[in-house]
Amino acid sequence: MDYRKNMIYLFEPKSVALIGATDKPGKVGRAIAENLLKFPGKVYFVNIKCQNGQELLGKPCYKTIKDVPEDVDLAVIAVPAKVVPSVVKECVEKGVKAIIIISAGFKETGPEGAKLEEEILKIVEGTGVAVLGPNCLGVYVPKTSLDTIFNPPDRQDKPKHGGIAFISQSGAFGAAFMDRMADLGIGLSKFISYGNAMQIDESDLIEFLNEDPDTKVIAAYIEGVKDGRKFARVLEKLRKPLVVFKAGITQAGAKAASSHTGSLAGAAEIYKGVFHQYNVVDVFDMQELLDASVALERQPPMRGENVAIVTNGGGAGVMTSDYVVLHGMKLAELSEETKRRLKESLPPAASVNNPVDVLGDAPVERYEKAIEEVIKDEDVDAIIVIALMQSPALDFERFYEMIVRKAKEANDKGKPMVLILPGGRVPKEYVKKFVDAGIPAYITPLQAVKALRALKIRGERSS
């Protein structure tokens, strides 16, 4: 039986058993237990020291999973590595459909740990049991309130439900990424930390998420790919945007990856070629991974390469122009008709070339007219709006309402719009409000241009 058919139970189980549960503060089994208390389905705790049926943190506890009187869809294992094979065997005998192995101490530690993984694989071979891990955080699914993460609730922020799925070979990176998503109010469909990828690997997860109705964009942190040909086959059939932060591109990084998750990082040029071939958006840090994912979830693909910039700050416009060109796009050549209409609407000192500089004293109405004209221009494929909100001429609420209207007009014409709100005094709430309305907003020009690059790559894939 194919284990991939049971992967759904990693995210939508009706019953969960935690093996290694404890009420001792500071222990992994305690933190996972606390997080599982929020799960609305049936939850069972397993600890060899329990008397069958006694309560642990308000839930029934049993000596072994085989002692649980009802069926179990998902087992979460958090016990020492050396006893994991025997626990997995009991799970198989119990008829568990999916297993998450949180425990570390496997191939990332060397040959002895690798032998333990081989032993587990033999136990589950042909059974159809889906196994995630080992050496991972597991999953977090806001929609179902399933949370197997061992970071305590008071130390780990969790995003709300949304359209971005995130898979991570590194649990620590994944936790930090979720903190950042929660901080900006960005929603998550599924978080999956897959660790050593003993059985379920990055290709399986991407393939699963490609069919997941709750996922619009797939973001991934990958140290190494387990099976290159399998990975390429999955990418070839991919319909959804995929953003990948590929670590281990240097010799030092590859060596570190091997000792972290037992991953073979591989040659950077090979990955670069594969990503280019299948129009995967490759990024190089956490912020870029998040920025690109937000843009891809909220805006249409960019169908060309010509960008129009509307700004109330000349320097910001120049800087953004440089980044546009450096990231493989062009400044749109505005038509003479567009320039004529802009001259009729803007003050004499304003620039009607691209970037369109509406000047530092521009009120909302002046911005609106300039944006309206560049949207109409047939040679414009995307719009970047720069607004220095420090200007006393700009009322935020009226500016917000105008941008929402104009972004819809642009999107209806298949043109993405992104917003730059530079300056250290700009409240984070401004950015969050625009993002909630479907308009990616960024603090720096570089962030916005890199996000637009992701939309351009997506446009190439879907054209």
The confidence score (pLDDT) of residue 424 equals: 61
**Under 8 Å between Cβ of 326 and 437:** no
**Is the confidence at residue 239, as pLDDT, over 80?**
yes
The confidence score (pLDDT) of residue 253 equals: 44
Cis omega (within 30 of 0) for bond into 142: no
Each residue's pLDDT tens digit, 112-153: 999 999 999 999 999 999 999 999 999 999 999 999 999 987
Of 137, 136, 138, 177, the residue nearest 157 (C-alpha)? 177
Q: What is the dihedral of CA 300, 301, 306, 309, to 10 degrees?
A: 40
**Under 8 Å between Cβ of 190 and 209:** yes
Place of tokens 């587990």: 120
Q: List 164's β-bridge partners, or say none.
A: 188, 217
Sequence-distant (≥ 6) Cβ neighbours of residue 158 within 8 angstroms: 140, 142, 147, 178, 182
Number of H helices, E strands in the chain: 15, 20
**403 vs 424, residue with greater confidence:** 403
Tell me if 1-135 shares its fold with 300-462: yes
Out of 3.30.70.260, 2.60.40.1220, 3.40.50.261, 3.30.70.270, the CATH code matching 300-462 is: 3.40.50.261
The CATH code that applies to domain 1-135 is 3.40.50.720
Sequence-distant (≥ 6) Cβ neighbours of residue 254 within 8 angstroms: 224, 248, 264, 265, 266
Each residue's pLDDT tens digit, 168-217: 999 999 999 999 999 989 999 999 999 999 999 999 999 999 999 999 99
Q: List 356's β-bridge partners, or say none.
A: 310
H helices of 336-427, in order, are 336-345, 364-376, 396-412
Of 44, 76, 78, 82, the residue nearest 63 (C-alpha)? 44
In the three-class reduction of DSSP (H, G, I as helix; E, B as strand; rest coil), residue 165 is classed as strand
Note the pTM of the prediction, 2 decimals: 0.93
Other Cβ atoms closer than 10 A to 317: 23
Domain ranges of the chain: 1-135, 157-298, 300-462
Architecture of domain 157-298: 3-Layer(aba) Sandwich (3.40)
Give the integer Cα–Cα distance in Å for 276 and 427: 37
Rounded mean pLDDT of the chain? Answer: 93
Place of tokens 């649990």: 171
The confidence score (pLDDT) of residue 264 equals: 46
Of 108, 118, 154, the residue nearest 264 (C-alpha)? 108
Q: List 218's β-bridge partners, or say none.
A: 165, 242
The confidence score (pLDDT) of residue 154 equals: 81
**Which pairing describes strands 382-386 and 130-132: parallel, antiparallel, or unpaired?**
unpaired
Give the integer Cα–Cα distance in Å for 160 and 456: 28
**Under 8 Å between Cβ of 45 and 59:** yes
**Is the confidence at residue 411, as pLDDT, over 60?**
yes
The confidence score (pLDDT) of residue 266 equals: 56
